[in-house]
Structure 1
Amino acid sequence: MNILLIGEFSRLHNSLKEGLVCHGHEVTIIGTGDGFKKYPIDICIKNRFLENKKLHFLAKAIHRITNISLVKVEYAYRYFKQLHKLKHYDVVQLINENSFKANPKVEIWLLKKIIKHNKKVFLLSCGADYSSIKYAFDKKLKYSILTPFNKDESLQKKSKHMLRFLKPKYKKLHDFLFENVNGVIASDLDYHLPLINHPKYLGLIPNPINTDKINFIENKVSNKVNIFHGISIANYAKKGNIYFEEALATLKDKYPDKVHIETTKNVPYKTYITLYNNCNILLDQTYSYDQGFNALEAMAKGKVVFTGAEQEWLDYYNLKEDTIVINAIPNTQKLIEKLEWLILNPDKINEISKNARAFVESHHNYKKIAQLYLDTWQKN
């Protein structure tokens, strides 16, 4: 089959492409590369208003005055210029409900072109979208990516980029997609739960991880337990980084001879995945129920990862708590207790790391996951 994957963040579409190519299919990815992360893209959509500091400042000033986003206008224009290349595919998959990063009205216009000129179109529920944000907004989860913004009024401005999906124009975009795509697929449990029983929902297909490219690193503690904390400034609040930083500050004072801590901020993907090679423990996020790409790739390397692993996830995979990953919740004292347990029982680090690698190989292998996508696309 000839397959088009629209949009990329977290490397999901790249890993899926690698799996699909192994099965003999031709795959093209179009997208932005997701800012500073710079994921590989076949047809790259650049945005000068984001890449140039002066133009970015100008765009923000115009947006404040007129409410017109030159960033979105440029994205729409650049995708429009590539439409002639986005035809005659057997399958098109959208990374999420705002794959073109354009204004919803323009996004619908672009989507109509994609739907008209291709055989099948599928939508991923991956990242913020109407379903997941509405579910979180209605407090159907004990905590979510909206929790930090609800707790702290000073952060509420920063939640606008997520809450926009509840606005009428984005709800219209959501409705258009659900009416016109062949089906919707969730990439993990955080997106699966809001979609259960929806007629267009085709089920959860776990994130694909290229375990052939990721070498397992024996996770043995030498003199100190090495803890790595990689921060994306834009996602600082919704990833719960404040709780990790508070916990690390306490442990650094309490165990100066037992702990080494490394923190990075806003590093490109290729740099990020090498920086944590020597760590024993990786701190990912606190508000999720399941693991995202960063966590899964680190698990494949054999790191002990603090991330989402709620009871719903344990039940889904029939697992016991803190045997594959460490369930990180937005509670500093709980994080301290779990980190302390590992620092004082370093043999557990090696045990969990081996379990983590085995889990990723079993449930997230990119070739197996690619076949699940192929089966789903062909049936619908």
Structure 2
Amino acid sequence: MNILLIGEYSRLHNSLKEGLMQNGHRVQLAGFGDGFKDYPMDLKFEKKWDRGFLKKVKVLIHKITGFDMSSYLIYRHFYKNRTFFSGYDAVQLINENSFYCGYHYERKILEHIFRNNKKVFLLSCGADYANVTYCFKNPGFKSVVQPYLAGKIKKKDFQPVLKFREEEYQKLHEYVYDNISGVIASDLDYHVPLEANPKYLGIIPNPVNLEKLKQNTENPRGKIVIFLGINHQNYFQKGIDFFEKALVEIEKKYHDRIEIIVTRSLPYKDYITAYHRAHIILDQAYSMDQGYNALEAMAKGKVVFTGAEKIFETFYNLTEKVAINALPDTDYIVSQLAFLIENPDEIKAIGKRASAFIKANHDHIDIANQYARAWQ
């Protein structure tokens, strides 16, 4: 097959591309590189007029005229490269709003893609209309909407999520669903809101390139190393405030038995190097299932605090822990960390099961085959 992947979140499409190519498919990848993480793209887009003085000018122009300069510049870049986006057997969009444009220019881009390719599919692996609508209607559902409803996140900082509640993004959602051949969920956080959708094709787990992620965790014979990677853009959405408070308590009690590593907003290649020595990774507290960073750490044999709710254990028929189900509760996180520090053999056992779980359920070559079958 000749395949185009559009957009990138946390290396998902890069790993899928690698699996598809190993299976003999021709694959191109276009997108923004996921911000500061800067993942490789075959055709790279940039958000222009999006910071500093030019952003202020853009906002002023939009207020006065309604014209969206950033969207126009993205569309112009797309139009110059429109032949790159034509002639594929299957195209997969990573989001309903993969190009980060307002409705007018996003639809113009999508019209070309729908018109000039055989089939187009949508991946639900982040905020989109269906997911955001479900989370606001069901505030008890464990999601990034919960810290916003608790008043921890300012409205302007939550706009990448809140925009999907606006009328123009509902229109975009309806236009996308009218034209796609199907939608796929990457994990259970996105599966639940889609279960009744007639275009839903089911879960295909995140692909992880195990060849790039050899297991490297040493047995915790000396100090136990705990790692927290902070991304300030989603600080409260990940529940980092609970992790930081928990580490303060753990440091007081176990300072002579642990080492804590904290990093801030690192590019991907630096991030995976930074947690190399860690035994325990603190990932996120508002999810049902694991996100991509957690999966890669688990592949390396780390014990990861992330989403691992009962629905996850049931879905994969698990009888033993492969990760620690993190909750937005400081005392709970402290108790789970304390148990691991006092029982280092559990760190070794969970890490071994985590690595085996990823190999069995997330290998990028097997996952690529699942995608190819779904597209066909």
**Which TM-score band applies after superposition, normalised by the shorter structure?**
over 0.9
**Which structure 2 residues correspond to residues 218-237 of structure 1 after superposition, within 5 A?**
218-237=217-236
Query: Are 1:4 and 2:7 an aligned pair?
Result: no
Which residue of structure 2 lines up, in the alignment, with residue 200 of structure 1? 199
Matches of 1:2 and 1:361 in 2, distance apart?
27
Which residue identity is paired with 2:339?
W
How far apart are 1:255 and its partner, in Å?
A: 1.1
Which residue of structure 2 lines up, in the alignment, with residue 46 of structure 1? 46
Which residue of structure 1 lines up, in the alignment, with residue 347 of structure 2? 349
Matches of 1:220 and 1:358 in 2, distance apart?
16
- CA distances 1:210-246 after superposition (whole Å, capped 9, x unpaired): 0111111143113211111001110111111000000
- CA distances 1:275-315 after superposition (whole Å, capped 9, x unpaired): 10000101110000001110000001111000001111111
Which residue of structure 1 lines up, in the alignment, with residue 216 of structure 2? 217
How far apart are 1:159 and its partner, in Å?
A: 2.0
Q: Would you say the 8 A contact 1:150–1:156 is kept in 2?
A: no
Which residue of structure 2 lines up, in the alignment, with residue 358 of structure 1? 356
Which residue of structure 2 lines up, in the alignment, with residue 75 of structure 1? 74
Matches of 1:320 and 1:157 in 2, distance apart?
42
Matches of 1:376 and 1:132 in 2, distance apart?
21
Which residue of structure 2 lines up, in the alignment, with residue 248 of structure 1? 247
Which residue identity is paired with 2:240?
N
Which residue of structure 2 lines up, in the alignment, with residue 288 of structure 1? 287
Matches of 2:153 and 2:267 in 1, distance apart?
28
Q: Would you say the 8 A contact 2:300–2:355 is kept in 1?
A: yes
How far apart are 1:49 and its partner, in Å?
A: 2.6
Matches of 2:354 and 2:272 in 1, distance apart?
17
Q: Would you say the 8 A contact 2:298–2:304 is kept in 1?
A: yes
How far apart are 1:156 and its partner, in Å?
A: 3.3
Which residue identity is paired with 2:26?
E
Matches of 1:341 and 1:140 in 2, distance apart?
31
- TM-score after normalising by structure 2: 0.96
Which residue identity is paired with 1:161?
P
Which residue identity is paired with 1:369?
I
Which residue of structure 2 lines up, in the alignment, with residue 111 of structure 1? 110
Where do 5+ consecutive residues of structure 2 fail to align? none
- 3-state SS, counterpart of residue 155 of structure 1: coil
Query: Are 1:173 and 2:172 an aligned pair?
Result: yes
Matches of 1:218 and 1:332 in 2, distance apart?
26
Matches of 1:340 and 1:57 in 2, distance apart?
48
| Compared CA separation, residues 203 and 82, structure 1 to 2 (3 A) | same
How far apart are 1:197 and its partner, in Å?
A: 2.3
- TM-score after normalising by structure 1: 0.95
Matches of 2:237 and 2:160 in 1, distance apart?
12
- 3-state SS, counterpart of residue 210 of structure 2: coil
**Which structure 2 residues correspond to residues 226-375 of structure 1 after superposition, within 5 A?**
226-320=225-319, 323-375=321-373
- Identity value in percent: 47
Query: Are 1:155 and 2:154 an aligned pair?
Result: yes
Where do 5+ consecutive residues of structure 1 fail to align? none
Number of equivalenced pairs: 376
Matches of 1:229 and 1:62 in 2, distance apart?
40
Matches of 1:153 and 1:260 in 2, distance apart?
29
How far apart are 1:377 and its partner, in Å?
A: 0.6
Which residue identity is paired with 2:145?
L
Q: Would you say the 8 A contact 1:219–1:353 is kept in 2?
A: no
